Chain A
Amino acid sequence: MKACAEPGRRSCPAPRPWVLAFFAFLLVLAIAPSGPRLGGQDLLGAPALAPATAVAQDAPPAAAPPPAELSWWEQKAKQPYVHEGTYWLPPQASPAAKGPDNLFIAVLAMSAFFFFAITAAVIYFVIKYRHRPGHKAEPSPAHNDALEITWTVIPTIIVVILFVYGWRSYIDLTAIPETRPENQIMVTAQKWNWSFRYYNGVEDNVLHVPQDQPVKLTMTSTDVLHSLFIPVFRVKQDVVPRRFTYAWFWATKPGVYRLYCTEYCGKDHSLMKTVVVVHSSGEYEKFLAEAFAKQQSLSGPALGESVFKKKGCEGCHSLDGSTRLGPTFKGAWGEQVKLADGSTITVDEKYIRDAILAPQAQSRPGFPPAMPVIPLSDKEIEGVIEFIKAQK
């Protein structure tokens, strides 16, 4: 199209209708609105539409959370998503993303070339040599070693080059540089929740990281396989139970980015997502110090509620009376419950403490033995007990 704007050219041949139609189609694809939003989640993981099991349940608990001021990242996460990347790829927020992205474009160009060449040859041959009255197959050689060796050697050279560059950029993506202790984050994945523990003991379901510094994640799972995927960093690594795996990245732009689980892990696999918050320099430490102070100040039911959220209890235990993988906490306090061995026991302090520290010792019929051992401090256990007491 540029040629048309050149001086000296008086007119440009009108593009053929099918060319226009093709570009119109691409344009429609590129700018079409994504349709009405019928469900799904906002970025921070609050289901806009409750999971199917809870659909038929009553209204949410009456005790509304206090209208706390939202932090900048919570506000940002609530805004509608705007795709800022290229047509094919999400935006880059890490220097190591450049390698795979450039290779992606190179392979795309090479693929487009071969695809169009082969398709053009097929279509040309089919039209030129199609059967019609009077047309016959012409004699032509049944093989041509020089030609065949050529089209064996050329792809071989191409793939050797791709392998070398793929390997080099893979090293950039996975070789973990020296990191400050403050930037080493422990990640625990469990069905269906992420938990990040920072150097000062703060735990959160959101991954907070500093800008312009390498960050190392040490990851494990309490149950099945999960996989940590942060598209803007081009980082992905499976999270394996009873084993540590690592990931690292160097975030360049402050902002809020998506983080997914990409290894199928059961029922709520598609809801196991959260966000990465990249803090501008200095803000990361400030945030952690504040979070630490806040965590220290908590006690009683408020501490219990914080543990309930951060340890992923809400994946299995509801507060609204609906049954998930485990029993609901609503009205649980003081209840008489049957155990698998036939005995009856009251839900009291002792029962709850035992259920947290040795969950399989008093399993209940009707619930799968899925509860992991959750190592909590005495203060946290007391908080959880107070929290369950409050769920009337």
Chain B
Amino acid sequence: MSASVDNTKSFLEVSPGIRNWLYTLDHKRIGLMYLCGILFSLLLGGAFALLVRTALFSPGLTIVGQDWYNKFFTLHGAVMVFLVIIPGIPAALGNMVLPVQLGAPDVAFPKLNLASFYLWCSGAFLLLLATALGDVDTGWTFYTPYSLESQTAVIPAVAGAFVLGFSSIFTGLNFLVTIHKFRPAHMGWFQMPLNLWALYATALMQVLATPVLGITLLLLFVERFMQIGIFDPTLGGDPVLFQHCFWFYSHPAVYIMIVPAMGVISEMITTFSRKHIFGYRFIAYSSVALALFSFLVWGHHMFVSGQSRLANMVFSALTFSVGIPSAIKVFNWTATLYKGDIRLDTPMLYVLSFLILFTIGGLTGIFLAVLSIDVHLHDTYFVVAHFHYVMMGSTLVAFIGALHYWWPKFTGRMYPEALGKLCAWGVFVGFNLTFLPQFVMGSRGMPRRYWDFDPEYTLYHRLSTIGAFLLGISLFVVVCYLAWSLKRGKKATQNPWGGTTLEWVAPTPPTTFNFPEPPPEVELYDYDDLVEVPNANEDGVTNWERRPATGKPAKAHH
């Protein structure tokens, strides 16, 4: 960040050239590079998912044998969790949006930010290396003792996840310091956009939980090389200990995935309803509550692992506590729609999909929190369907929606709206067709991670496979038209959706330090001053302009 940088030109145009991108310290460029990597990983993970679904079109041997099937679902899980969903919203979109929403020129530690990006690349490279070296077949959870004796490329995969963990920790640390230190004087904690509350809660979890994953994977590494008997029962180790360590990270990781999704949903739902978010404080507090509770519920992944019944009781009780902040958010979002002026642009279609899919994902979580029901449903397709509703139906849908929402701001181009809406419907219908039948299979007793299945499930598996292809094609088209729009899309205006947060005050695309001059103080989620101006630029794109100060009476609430 040298002072000689031109802060009047768009960050995309200033200092072009591949070198200037690779060495950039600009959070928006780093965010865009993350985005490219994440979208590539999404297509890769999606391809593995379609291979899994194709293999399950009929019982018995279809396209591949057991060996390959096991590798496909492992790689699908590892790529989607570690490379797509965990970094998706915080590292790609958060990086671009967080400093701008604060009115800041960059994150607190720009070099650390670039370092996290290259750590992400290194981790991704190691994971892909594991794929090239003959794959991994342990499942993304690396459960011992199978992961200790598997003859596949477990070491590079574990090393990849280890390195990716550091990328996540550095990003979290950066965000925490940025939010604490770079808030403008007029922005107290309760004047922050809800997206920042969510990113703050996420960063807390990243910093506190991810080191445990690092330690666990390191121990697995050491155990494979030196056989010192931590997890290996034949050496006196405890394989269940691995599950405790693994889920101590990986349960908060579920909230590292979903909490930022809730943040972007809060931003979008108020903008497209043209109405103040309902219950700001309850939403903000519930993000923090989720972050805290998320550390106390890891044992619910282990209800049938052989841990004591007392532990099961405590973990079941704590698990229910997670349901409450989630329910509060859903009610508040729904109430935000009340008496609004709802605009069904593509991002809003994803928001509405999220509301419905997250409700299903959350409610089916209640089944699994009830101890006696969980015994039956554990490790069946019911669990598979439940966590896909949360991780994919909620987090990924929110990510894709938010990508459309901020796409014009950071690329300066609009995506094709009609195609966008069509794909949003494709994602919603395809997703439900894929995963609703899996609830039925699971509660009837179909175990997960099965290459072969009993013939009476054929119909449900086929519906699921057809849905998966609809979903896969829709997402593929989304990635294609976004790439297309970079050059051919309509030129975006400064504020095409009428948002009230600071990024909509910045130029489109923002300059290197985001704002050519210090941003003004804006009233958060106050839409009264914004006026819609259709056909605001040469491409006919709408813009929302701030009306000159009128003598309207001060607001009654607050």
Q: Which residues does A use to contact B, with CB under 8 Å?
A: 29, 32-41, 48-49, 51-53, 55, 81, 83, 85, 87-90, 99-100, 103-104, 107-108, 110-111, 114-115, 118-119, 121-122, 125-126, 129-131, 135-144, 147-148, 151-152, 155-156, 159-160, 162-163, 165-167, 169-174, 223-225, 227, 229, 231, 234-238, 240-243, 245, 258, 260-271, 368, 370
Contacts and interface: CB of A to CB of B under 8 A. Distances in A.
Interface string B490-525: 000000000000000000000000000000000001
B246 to A, nearest CB: 13
Contacts of A114: 359, 363
B355 A118 contact: yes
A155 B327 contact: yes
Contacts of B343: 130-131
Interface residues of B, number: 100
B457 A34 contact: yes
**Residue picked from B306, B312, B328, most chain A C-beta under 10 Å:** B306
Contact of B370 (A55, A103, A147): A103
Given A224-B145, A229-B379, A152 B344 contact: no
A136 B440 CA distance: 43
A74 B356 CA distance: 47
A129 B341 contact: yes
B59 interface: yes
Query: Could you say which of B139, B312, B328, B359 has the most chain A C-beta atoms within 10 Å of its C-beta?
Result: B359
B422 to A, nearest CB: 18
B278 interface: yes
Contacts of A111: 363-364, 366-367
B444 A231 contact: yes
B373 A100 contact: yes
Given A111-B364, A261-B447, 7 more contacts: A115-B359, A129-B273, A148-B282, A151-B331, A170-B313, A231-B444, A260-B445
Nearest to A160: B320
Given A89-B444, A111-B366, A140-B275, A234 B145 contact: no
Given A129-B337, A143-B281, A237 B65 contact: no
A147 B330 CA distance: 14
19 contacts: A35-B455, A104-B443, A111-B366, A126-B342, A126-B352, A130-B343, A135-B341, A138-B339, A143-B282, A152-B282, A152-B328, A160-B320, A166-B370, A170-B312, A236-B379, A240-B239, A260-B445, A264-B70, A270-B449
A104 B373 contact: yes
B174 to A, nearest CB: 32
Contacts of B338: 125, 129, 140
B485 interface: no
Interface string B308-334: 010011001100110110011011101
B486 interface: no
A100 B375 contact: yes
B145 A223 contact: yes
A270 B450 contact: yes
B366 A270 contact: no
Interface stretch (B146-154, B195-203, B473-481): B146-154
Nearest to A99: B372
A170 B304 contact: no
A39 B324 CA distance: 45
A258 B456 CA distance: 13
Contact of A267 (B62, B70, B323, B356): B70
B247 interface: no
Given A129-B337, A234-B376, A264-B143, A40 B367 contact: no
Contacts of A162: 320, 366, 369-370
Nearest to B382: A88
Contacts of A370: 149
Main secondary structure of the interface of B (DSSP, over half): helix
A52 B370 CA distance: 39
A104 B449 contact: no
A60 B331 CA distance: 63
A170 B376 contact: no
Nearest to B557: A142
A237 B302 CA distance: 10
Best-buried of B316, B356, B443 by chain A (most CB within 10 Å): B443
Contacts of B331: 118, 148, 151
A142 B280 contact: yes
A6 B328 CA distance: 43
A294 B59 CA distance: 36
A166 B314 CA distance: 12
A243 B340 CA distance: 60
Interface string B389-416: 0000000000000000000000000000
Contacts of A52: 61, 64-67
A260 B447 CA distance: 8
A163 B143 contact: no
A330 B309 CA distance: 48
Interface in B8-64: 58-62, 64
Interface string B55-89: 00011111011110010000000000000000000
B151 A242 contact: no
B7 interface: no
B454 interface: yes
Contacts of A151: 327-328, 331
A148 B58 CA distance: 48
Given A39-B452, A48-B60, A115 B360 contact: yes
Contacts of A142: 276-280, 525, 557-558
Contacts of A147: 335
Nearest to A149: B282
Given A125-B337, A129-B337, A148-B332, A34 B458 contact: yes
Given A34-B458, A89-B444, A151-B331, A129 B143 contact: no
Contacts of B355: 118, 122
B304 A227 contact: yes
Interface string B296-312: 00000000111001001
A34 B170 CA distance: 51
Contacts of A35: 58, 455, 458-459, 462
B320 A129 contact: no
Contacts of B527: 137
| 7 closest Cβ pairs, A-B complex | A39-B60, A52-B65, A231-B445, A166-B370, A40-B59, A170-B371, A270-B450
